[in-house]
Amino acid sequence: MAEKREKFNLRRWLDDRLDLATFLSSFSLTGWIYGPLDRRLNLRQALEKALRKPIPTHVNWLYCFGGITLFLFGLQVLTGIMLAIYYKPTPHDAYASILYIDNVVPLGWLARQVHAWCGHLLLLMLFLHMARVFFHRAYRSPRELNWVVGVLLLIVCLTFGFTGSLLPWDQWAYWSTTTGTETIGGLPILGETFLKLLRGGEGVTDATLTRFFALHALILPWLITFLLVLHFAMVRRQGISEPL
């Protein structure tokens, strides 16, 4: 009778074949990082400790959605900086600068498409991540505050998408922003106040474009960075919750 085949273990396979010293040496940059710099900051020991941190046995592919979301956010930051170099947030130049990025800037079309598609994928991965946390009931004590921070991160990401949709300043951007802000204006009591504050007036004008660009490129990045640091600090402190 044939012996039962052992289940493939990726972690064990990597441990058998990955020499950590060789891996670190490949990033040594001619000995500078693990030479003079390492003697002062002890980077090798810190990196070895991080790479050898044990992973709970219950962690599987369902726990990857948060990391994928963070990776996509990093791509958003990188491509956003590249686009901001050429983008001009004025009514007369905004659309023309988008055409310039698409048709003149080397690989500008690629940076813009990556920025747009990563935004959609980021929201998808974020919803999947929160669904995993919800159905595993990982929002329970003592992780209630981290769940609240996660909901705030979702709101900020949605606001990123909403403010970024106006920046091309074309017909679709104008009318989608008009419809979206009118929805906010329908809120009871403070709806009209929020509407005028967001638009900078009665309608969608150059003031609206300026405010949306300031939110998208200046205010929201700092806010989401603070929330991400808070989120990962609590995950680091509390660990990864097991499913039911």
Contact 220, 156 (CB under 8 A): yes
Q: Which residues are CB-neighbours of 21 under 8 A, at least 6 positions away?
A: none
- Residue 36 located in a structural domain: no
What pLDDT sits at residue 173? Answer: 94
What pLDDT sits at residue 32? Answer: 52
Residue 221 belongs to a domain with what CATH number?
1.20.810.10
Our CA angle for 11, 60, 135, nearest 5°, is 170
Q: 83 or 17: which carries more pLDDT confidence?
A: 83
The neighbour count for residue 115, using CB atoms within 10 Å, is 18
Q: Which residues are CB-neighbours of 160 under 8 A, at least 6 positions away?
A: 76, 119, 216, 220, 224
- Residue 109 located in a structural domain: yes
83: containing domain: 61-238
Does residue 148 register a pLDDT over 60?
A: yes
For 220, the token pair is 């929201």
Task: Report the range of poorest mean pLDDT among 44-58, 77-91, 220-234.
Answer: 44-58
- Residue 135 located in a structural domain: yes
What pLDDT sits at residue 33? Answer: 56
- Residue 188 located in a structural domain: yes
* Section 67-95 average pLDDT: 95
- Residue 127 located in a structural domain: yes
Stated pTM of the model: 0.80
- Residue 50 located in a structural domain: no
- Residue 42 located in a structural domain: no
Does residue 62 register a pLDDT over 70?
A: yes
Reported as a single tens digit per residue, the pLDDT across 180-224 is 999 888 888 888 888 998 898 888 999 999 999 999 999 999 999
CA dihedral (76, 79, 82, 88) in degrees, to 10, reads -60
Per cent of the chain over pLDDT 70 is 84
Does residue 68 register a pLDDT over 70?
A: yes
Q: pLDDT band at 5, cuts 50/70/90?
A: low
Q: Which long-range contacts (CB under 8 A, 24 or more apart) does 141-147 make?
A: 142/238, 143/234, 143/238, 143/241, 145/234, 146/231, 146/234, 146/235, 146/238
Q: 214 or 61: which carries more pLDDT confidence?
A: 214
Q: 56 or 97: which carries more pLDDT confidence?
A: 97
Say which DSSP state 219 is in: I
Task: Report the range of poorest mean pLDDT among 19-28, 37-46, 129-138, 159-168.
Answer: 19-28
What pLDDT sits at residue 1? Answer: 46
* Section 102-110 average pLDDT: 95
In the chain, the number of structural domains is 1
- Ranges of beta strands (E only) in 17-131 are none
Reported as a single tens digit per residue, the pLDDT across 20-44 is 555 555 555 545 555 666 677 777 7
Q: 6 or 82: which carries more pLDDT confidence?
A: 82
The neighbour count for residue 68, using CB atoms within 10 Å, is 16
Does residue 2 register a pLDDT over 70?
A: no
- Residue 81 located in a structural domain: yes
Mean pLDDT of the residues in the chain: 86
